[in-house]
Structure formats: structure tokens, C-alpha cells
């Protein structure tokens, strides 16, 4: 399949005509697939109400069919068409966080095909704030089912070049709208239970949600603290987000202890003939003696770290490292979301550095 590549300025306004968005709209209406930028990561979009389109999405990604898709809308009135029993709290959250990186789960109406929801009787819905995503949904009049536009198991794409790596030749069109601002997927919050529950952490934190609606719970499966607990978001059970090299996260009391521990392990791997990478924060980077040291950002700037995370993991793939040792970024609220992705990328391999 020939994949059309088109660039659309992220500053596009409602009035501005755009031929590429027109073409993308036609493709969506005919059941084809278009990858597009959002403020979180790039999405692989198809018509959410067309079962053929969602089947094509699973096939292009190689995604297990029990892993449901998020439906992207551009108008709150579309929510009533696909979801029922919408609680008052959901409207409060929408007022504050939509459009934006928050996905809510509701009971679904029959119009939503089972193939879009992975057979569940609930549907995940989000209204993205990225102009290009928003305009694509609005202009096409199509509610767009879209998971991240990566091959299943690889780090999510945060740049159009990542989407091309994974999807060129497999889908109809890729819209390049520049780099994604947040770089990690949306916060998912289940609104179907007694107490709203976070199923996947993201930029919108528990504290931010609680400020608006009071008590919010967190699925214990998050951060893998309870390995035996089955996550409520089916997608959270897969190793996913993983780079090709084997990754370890190193935690420690101080930067010195972490640096010393990582350098020792790097040396051991190198002596065994392996190529080794380190994922470092800016001020520590100079201290590492690895083959490839990639700086993810300043330790204090969590938004920078989240927006660089997947790009950095893909960069290690490109440089062909066998092992990756990463510093830990636990800490405040966005740190929870970052660590959730990083721990998955590392397949839960976390090492405690001995104190120095």
C-alpha cells in the first residue's frame, strides 16, 4: 500500500481550508486509516463506528484484539451518541480537562461495534486538544477510534518519523503535525463505578482530578506494585513501550550511588562484548562511561522528561545497544506516569543501588 505523507501546521484554525485534511476525511469516511498527531502521542485513526476500520487498526499494529481503542471526539454532544449512564462528575471533568489528555470510560451504546471496544460493554472517550487532531475529527464528522500509531510492543510514536518507521506501507495516510507536547498517553479514568478510578496515569494527575470531583481511586495494578492484580485497562497488562535492548532501572539514595552502580554494570556488560546505553538526566550524563549516553532532560523538568521518553527509547534502538541502564524519575505526580511507562519498558527490572 502506498502511504500518503502530508504535513499540516499545528496552528491550523477552524476557518482555514486544507486539502490534506479534506483528503484524510475522505479516507476515514471510506473506512481507511490515517495516523495523526495529538498532544499526547500520534494516533492511528479509523472510523470508530465502522467495524472494518477498527479491524484494520488491529491488523496494522499487530495489536491483540482484546485491547480496546479510545474513541476521539470533537464535540461533547457526540458523547451521548456512544455512551450511556454518564455521571455528573464526568461533566465536571469535561468542563475542566477537555479538550486535553484525559480519557473517560463509560457504558457503551450498541452503536459502538465490539471490535472497537475489544468486546467490552464499555467505551473509552477523549477529546484531544491538538489542533490537527481536533480539526480532523470536526471536518470529517467521523468519531475516530485511535490507539497509539506504533507497532504493538514498540514505544509509542511522538514524532511523524516514528509513525513512518512503524506504519509506512500499512496505512493510507500519515499527517505530520510536529512533535507531541506531552509525549505519554492520556490519563484513563473509569467513570462506570461508584468511585472514579484511574486505570492509567498520565499528565492529568489524581490530585488534579480530585480538585474537581473529590475522591478518585487508582487501579492497584498501576506501577506493577501488585503483579498478581489484573489491570482493568486491558492494554496495561502487555509489556509494551519496550525498546529492543534489555533495560534496567536503577534507583538509589543519591545520584552518586546510582552513577557508581550503573558504571559498574556497564563495565561488566562491555567486558562480555555488549554495547551498552545509559538513559541519564542532564547533570549526571558526564559521569557515565557507556557506549551511548542519551540525555532525557533536566531531573526537575518532568514535562521535558515525559515528552522525550519514547523518542529516547527509540533512539537507543537506532543506535543498536544490547543493554540500557536508566536512572529513575519517581517523584511528584507526573513522575508516577513517567515511571509507569519506564517500568513497563524495563519489563519490571528495577535495581536498588547500594549506598556509597
> Which residues lie near ligand AMP (CB under 6 A)?
67-68, 70, 105, 117, 120, 122-124, 147-148, 185, 188, 199-200, 232-236
Q: Nearest-CB residue to ligand AMP?
A: 235
Cell of 33: 486509516
Q: Does 38 bind Mg ion (CB under 5 A)?
A: no
Which CB sits closer to ligand AMP, 70 or 204? 70
- Check: CB of residue 266 under 8 Å from CB of residue 305: no
Shortest distance, position 242 Cβ to ligand AMP, whole Å: 14
Q: For the window 130-169, what string marks contact with Mg ion as x by the rule CB under 5 A?
A: ------------------x---------------------
Q: Does 186 bind Mg ion (CB under 5 A)?
A: no
Which alpha helices (DSSP H) does the chain contain, by range? 19-29, 51-61, 76-82, 88-97, 131-140, 160-167, 206-213, 255-271, 302-319, 333-345
Which CB sits closer to ligand AMP, 105 or 342? 105
Q: Of ligand AMP, Mg ion, none, which one sits near residue 117, judging by CB under 5 to 8 A according to partner kind?
A: ligand AMP
Q: Could you give the dihedral angle defined by the CA atoms of residues 173, 175, 181 and 185, in that order, rounded to the nearest 10 degrees?
A: -20
Non-local (6+) Cβ contacts of 101 within 8 A are: 39, 40, 126, 128, 129, 182, 185, 186, 187, 202, 203, 204
Which CB sits closer to ligand AMP, 217 or 251? 217
Which CB sits closer to ligand AMP, 8 or 233? 233
Distance, in Å, from the CA atom of 60 to the CA atom of 253, rounded to the nearest integer, reads 44
Shortest CA distance to 36 belongs to which of 128, 154, 165?
A: 128
Which CB sits closer to ligand AMP, 162 or 299? 162
Q: Of ligand AMP, Mg ion, none, which one sits near residue 291, judging by CB under 5 to 8 A according to partner kind?
A: none
- Check: CB of residue 217 under 8 Å from CB of residue 290: no
Cell of 164: 513512518
Which CB sits closer to ligand AMP, 131 or 187? 187
**CA-atom Rg of the chain in angstroms:** 20
Shortest CA distance to 165 belongs to which of 243, 66, 97?
A: 243
Shortest distance, position 212 Cβ to ligand AMP, whole Å: 21
Shortest distance, position 88 Cβ to ligand AMP, whole Å: 20
Q: Of Mg ion, ligand AMP, none, which one sits near residue 233, judging by CB under 5 to 8 A according to partner kind?
A: ligand AMP
Q: Of Mg ion, ligand AMP, none, which one sits near residue 123, judging by CB under 5 to 8 A according to partner kind?
A: ligand AMP
Collapsing DSSP to helix, strand or coil, 121 comes out as coil
**Site size for Mg ion (CB under 5 A):** 1
Shortest distance, position 195 Cβ to Mg ion, whole Å: 26
Which CB sits closer to ligand AMP, 122 or 333? 122
Which CB sits closer to ligand AMP, 227 or 271? 227
Shortest distance, position 59 Cβ to ligand AMP, whole Å: 15
Collapsing DSSP to helix, strand or coil, 155 comes out as coil
Shortest distance, position 245 Cβ to ligand AMP, whole Å: 22
Cell of 303: 514535562
Q: What are phi and psi of 186, to 5 degrees?
A: -60, 155
Shortest distance, position 235 Cβ to ligand AMP, whole Å: 2
Which CB sits closer to ligand AMP, 9 or 121? 121
Shortest CA distance to 183 belongs to which of 101, 98, 283, 69?
A: 101
Cα 159 to chain center, whole Å? 12
281, β-bridge pairs: 297
Shortest distance, position 122 Cβ to ligand AMP, whole Å: 4
- Please give the residue ranges that form the binding site for Mg ion (CB under 5 A): 148
Amino acid at each position: 500500500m502506498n502511504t500518503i505523507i502530508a504535513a499540516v501546521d499545528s496552528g491550523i484554525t477552524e476557518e482555514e481550508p486544507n486539502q490534506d485534511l479534506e483528503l484524510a476525511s475522505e479516507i476515514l469516511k471510506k473506512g481507511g486509516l490515517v495516523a495523526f498527531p495529538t498532544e499526547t502521542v500520534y494516533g492511528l485513526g479509523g472510523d470508530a463506528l465502522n467495524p472494518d476500520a477498527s479491524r484494520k487498526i488491529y491488523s496494522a499494529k499487530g495489536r491483540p484484539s482484546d485491547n480496546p481503542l479510545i474513541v476521539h471526539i470533537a464535540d461533547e454532544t457526540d458523547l451521548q451518541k456512544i455512551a450511556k449512564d454518564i455521571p455528573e462528575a464526568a461533566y465536571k471533568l469535561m468542563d475542566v480537562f477537555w479538550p486535553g489528555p484525559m480519557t473517560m470510560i463509560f457504558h457503551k451504546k450498541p452503536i459502538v461495534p465490539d471490535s472497537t471496544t475489544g468486546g467490552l460493554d464499555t467505551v473509552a472517550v477523549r477529546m484531544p486538544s491538538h489542533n490537527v487532531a481536533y480539526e480532523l475529527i470536526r471536518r470529517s464528522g467521523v468519531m475516530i477510534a485511535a490507539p497509539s500509531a506504533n507497532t504493538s510492543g514498540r514505544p509509542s510514536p511522538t514524532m511523524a518519523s516514528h509513525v513512518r518507521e512503524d506504519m509506512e506501507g500499512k496505512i493510507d495516510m500519515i499527517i505530520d503535525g510536529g512533535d507531541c507536547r506531552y509525549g505519554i498517553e492520556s490519563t484513563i479514568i473509569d467513570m462506570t463505578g461508584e468511585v472514579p478510578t484511574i486505570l492509567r496515569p498520565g499528565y492529568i494527575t489524581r490530585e488534579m482530578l480530585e480538585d474537581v470531583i473529590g475522591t478518585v481511586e487508582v487501579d492497584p495494578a498501576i506501577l506493577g506494585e501488585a503483579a498478581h492484580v489484573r489491570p482493568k485497562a486491558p492494554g496495561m497488562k502487555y509489556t509494551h513501550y519496550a525498546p529492543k535492548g534489555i533495560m534496567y532501572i536503577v534507583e538509589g539514595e543519591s545520584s552518586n550511588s546510582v552513577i557508581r552502580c550503573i558504571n559498574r554494570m556497564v563495565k561488566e556488560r562491555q567486558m562480555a562484548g555488549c554495547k551498552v546505553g545509559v538513559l541519564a538526566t542532564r547533570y549526571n550524563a558526564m559521569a557515565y562511561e557507556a557506549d551511548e549516553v542519551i540525555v532525557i532532560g533536566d531531573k526537575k523538568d518532568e514535562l521535558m522528561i515525559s515528552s522525550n521518553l519514547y523518542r529516547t527509547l527509540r533512539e537507543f534502538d537506532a543506535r543498536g545497544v544490547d543493554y540500557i541502564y536508566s536512572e529513575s524519575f519517581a517523584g511528584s505526580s507526573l513522575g508516577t506516569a513517567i515511571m509507569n511507562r519506564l517500568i513497563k519498558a524495563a519489563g519490571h527490572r528495577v535495581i536498588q543501588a547500594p549506598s556509597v
